[in-house]
A and B are shown apart, each in its own frame.
Chain A
Amino acid sequence: MIVVLRTFISAGLAGLLGLDAVQAGQFLFSRPAFVGTVLGWLNGCPLEGARLGILLELLYIDFIPVGGVVPPNGTAAAAVGVLAHSAGGLAPSLSFFIGIAAGVAYAPLESQVRASRSRLNALIEAQVSSGDFRLRRWLARALLIENAVMGAYVLTLAGLAALLGRLPGLAWLYPGTDFAFSLMPWLGLSGLYFRFRTQIYKKG
């Protein structure tokens, strides 16, 4: 029961922290390193949460949200990764790769949410033209929907991970996922190194 409650709270918190990525603030509270540590603490596995978070962060810095590009979502990745481990009972290594997949799969959903907001422009213009200048409620609506979508997504995938955890013979995968997981810091460090190395050698 407590696990279920914690999972619900974690999904809500992930939705709230996820708003920081685009909608409000941009203080980087939505980054996997922070989300992973906080949700890990909330779910009784702070060390695994911090580790999953920072490794996801290292891989996710490869993506830059320039212009209208919707990169894979780091908040969703960290939240699903931590919950797959804490609520689903999966090994951290498998949870990590499930987290990566969850972050990548969230990008098209996020695109849809953004696209759906385009139709609001005509409504807002009509409202302003009629002399009602309250823009705040449209922003609140956008924030609320974004929060709800992220929360529902994280909760759904955490549920699926919990079901996956009940599959017999899953431990067969772990030697492979554990080994791949042990290489991830090095893949992340490679991304970090080459990000700046490329800039050093770039002209202009």
Chain B
Amino acid sequence: MLFSMFLRSFFIQAGWNYERFQNLGFAFSLQPALEKIYPDKEKYKAALLRHLQIFNTQPYMAAFVLGNIIRMEERAAAGGEADIKTLPGVKQALASSFASIGDRIFWGRLKPMTVQICLLVWAACGFYGWLFTGMNDELPLGLLLAGPLSGIAVYSVFSVYIRWKGLKDGYACGGANNCALDAANWPRLIRLLTAAGFAMSLAIVALAFALLAGFNCVACTKGDLLLKLGLPVAVLALHRVLRALGRSVFFTAGLLLALSILLFSALKLGPFKLYL
């Protein structure tokens, strides 16, 4: 029963809509268990309709709520009327709490870390084509795919584990409105991921500047080199300032594009390359 729910939980967001968010995916995930718990058709129908109501949380963390709710439904089927009454409140409380935790872990940290892993894998394989155009022309596809796939693998192993753990832990403590919130030391995990992400960011930025200097230092004059290193710093500073002013990264990209077209296409300044 739990395994079937686990497989269906990969579709928790299918049918996502603005009126009731993940309701359809949630009901779909619960279906095999509800069918087993309520052999009576009318009771099964009532349970299914109950779970077609509004529901929204972070998709991976939804497993914790699914496990909890199915345990509550089992108790309700065994005559626990109180569980039916408290079910919507518990569901809502857990959905909000786990959404907050999941957003920080998955969207805020692990997802950007997949990009870092990709860049570091490419760097380890000697591929810097993402930084400098026209380099590494002959590269095997396997190496190109190794970057994004490494990030995806790390992310997916963790997210699939959390989905399964969520179902099991939620089912084990079902009924309590703080159920499974202590399934892991979430604040510690968030701090660890933040530290790891920041360390990788620093490593990648340092590597990028080192490569830029390395590719230019042989044939550039000191002034040229400073200009070529100063330009990326200026981009970083511009992004920081515009970000502080509430502008998105696309605004900065658009601004840089407009300025570049003005200078190099309209005013026809001599071509300038960051690298040789």
A binds B: yes
**B145, B249, B265, B273: which contacts A59 (Cβ < 8 A)?**
B249
CB distance from B225 to the nearest CB of A (A): 16
Number of B residues with CB within 8 Å of any CB on chain A: 93
User: Could you tell me if A121 and B19 are in contact, using CB atoms closer than 8 angstroms?
Assistant: yes
> Of B67-75, B178-186, B213-221, B229-237, which binds chain A?
B229-237
Q: Assess A196 versus B112: contact at CB under 8 Å? Given A51-B133, A176-B262, A189-B236.
A: yes
CA distance A67 to B49 in the complex (A): 23
A142 CB contacts on chain B under 8 angstroms: 14-15, 24
CB distance from B205 to the nearest CB of A (A): 5
User: Could you tell me if A121 and B45 are in contact, using CB atoms closer than 8 angstroms?
Assistant: no
CB distance from B227 to the nearest CB of A (A): 13
A157 near B: Cβ within 8 Å? no
B148 CB contacts on chain A under 8 angstroms: 31, 33-34, 37, 53-54
B268 CB contacts on chain A under 8 angstroms: 175
What are the 8 closest A-B residue pairs judged by CB atoms, nearest first? A176-B261, A176-B265, A118-B19, A180-B260, A117-B17, A196-B198, A175-B264, A186-B232
User: Could you tell me if A133 and B48 are in contact, using CB atoms closer than 8 angstroms?
Assistant: yes
A63 CB contacts on chain B under 8 angstroms: 248
User: Could you tell me if B232 and A199 are in contact, using CB atoms closer than 8 angstroms?
Assistant: no
Is chain A's binding surface mostly helix, strand, loop or mixed?
helix
User: Could you tell me if A139 and B24 are in contact, using CB atoms closer than 8 angstroms?
Assistant: yes
CB distance from A167 to the nearest CB of B (A): 14
Which residues does B use to contact A, with CB under 8 Å? 10-11, 13-21, 23-25, 27-28, 31, 35, 41, 44-45, 48-49, 52, 56, 59-60, 99, 103, 107-109, 111-112, 114-116, 118-119, 129-131, 133, 136-137, 139, 141, 144-145, 147-149, 151-152, 155-156, 159, 194-195, 197-198, 201-202, 204-205, 208, 231-232, 235-236, 239-240, 243, 248-250, 252-253, 256-257, 259-266, 268, 271-274
Number of A residues with CB within 8 Å of any CB on chain B: 83
Among B15, B23, B137, B266, the most chain A Cβ lie within 10 Å of the Cβ of B15
**B19, B197, B264, B266: which contacts A179 (Cβ < 8 A)?**
B264
**Complex interface bits, A23-45 against B, C-beta within 8 A gives 1, otherwise 0:** 11111110101100110110000
Q: Assess A195 versus B112: contact at CB under 8 Å? Given A27-B159, A31-B148, A179-B264.
A: yes
CB distance from A199 to the nearest CB of B (A): 5
A67 CB contacts on chain B under 8 angstroms: 56, 99
**A47, A55, A191: which contacts B239 (Cβ < 8 A)?**
A191
A27 CB contacts on chain B under 8 angstroms: 152, 155-156, 159
User: Could you tell me if A190 and B24 are in contact, using CB atoms closer than 8 angstroms?
Assistant: no
Which residues does A use to contact B, with CB under 8 Å? 22-29, 31, 33-34, 37-38, 40-41, 46-47, 50-51, 53-55, 57-59, 61-68, 72, 92, 97, 100, 104, 114-115, 117-118, 120-121, 124-125, 128-129, 131, 133, 135-136, 138-139, 142-143, 172-187, 189-197, 199-200
A172 CB contacts on chain B under 8 angstroms: 265
A120 CB contacts on chain B under 8 angstroms: 15, 17, 24
Q: Can you list 16 contacts pairing A with B, beta carbon distance less than 8 Å?
A: A23-B11, A23-B14, A24-B14, A33-B114, A34-B149, A54-B147, A54-B148, A61-B111, A67-B56, A67-B99, A125-B49, A133-B31, A179-B263, A185-B131, A186-B232, A189-B208
